[in-house]
Amino acid sequence: MSRFKSFSRFRVNWTHKFIGGLTRAFNPMTLPLKESRSDLERKLEERTHQLEANMVELDRTRTSALKMLGELQDARRELEMVNRQLKETDETNMKFIGIASHELKTPLTAIKANIDFILSEKEGKIPENLKSYLITIQRNTNRIQMRMDQMLDLSRMKSNRLLFNREPILLSEVMGGYISEVTPVEKHLSIQVGIPQGLLIYADKNALHDIFINLLSNAFKFTADGGQVSILAGPKDQSVLLEIKDTGMGIPEDKLQMIFDEFYQVEGGKYGGTGLGLAIAKRLVEEHGGNIWVESQSGKGSTFYFTLPLSAENQDEKLNRS
């Protein structure tokens, strides 16, 4: 019995010593864990604060965005209202231009017809001093008529009232009339024409007239006395490629993209005109399914290129030759 008690005391003492040893061994191991836990708690607290700050900033940004969205919606409504007003004003202006041009064209046509008739009289019937006055009146009447035609064309384009009656047109037959209609009498210009005989264009006759009148007027206006204007045409693929080349003042490179804009004038109106001719020519060419572009160098002249549909007769002829 005494031996058992001794063994029990030994086991208790050994257990205490063993647990004490384990405690002393684990203490250094738990210290880093405590430090790591404290570090994690500190980082968690920092992240929590940062998250709270971010949420406050996000809420502030959301409020600002909603305010900006409201302002944008207000601005859009105002812009739409202004656009409607501008459209209504533009339609009213175009309507007025159309009516005014049409009303003025009737008496102007009568004046022009009478002047043309008087000037067609035989030599000697009209005194030379009176004839020079009549020629000046005729030239200015033609100029006014061209401006009015431009206004009417613009009015029709704006109101989508362009109606075309396409037909085969023999280009060599009509070109002489186009040239004589706009050739300035006060300038001595060399006019070169290179159009193949029998070349047919499939186009509206009135539109073709307006395209050439506007482009030729532009070439003649900006070409100085003694200069040259060339008119060339030829088949290209399924179209006719036309060129109107002049040796005039040319167009600065930074202005090339704007010359087909309505009312734009390269020299700010220095040479007169409405600034509509090239815009109208471009619209009419495009309405025929063609393209128009320009190559120019300031001081060296310009070349306007445009394409129009080739008439069916010419297409058949090209196929037979190939």
Which segment of 77-81, 136-140, 317-321 scores lowest on mean pLDDT? 317-321
Token pair 């959301």 is found at 62
pLDDT for 48-77, tens place per residue? 888 888 888 888 888 888 888 888 888 888
Which segment of 76-80, 88-92, 108-112, 170-174 scores lowest on mean pLDDT? 88-92
Tell me which of 7 and 218 has the higher pLDDT. Answer: 218
pLDDT for 113-127, tens place per residue? 888 888 777 666 777
Quote the pLDDT of residue 78.
85
Q: Please tell me which of 6-20, 114-128, 199-213, 250-264 the model is most confident about, judged by mean pLDDT.
A: 199-213
Of the pLDDT bands very low, low, confident and very high (cuts 50, 70, 90), residue 282 is: very high
Alpha-carbon distance of 41 to 53, in angstroms, equals 18
Quote the pLDDT of residue 74.
85
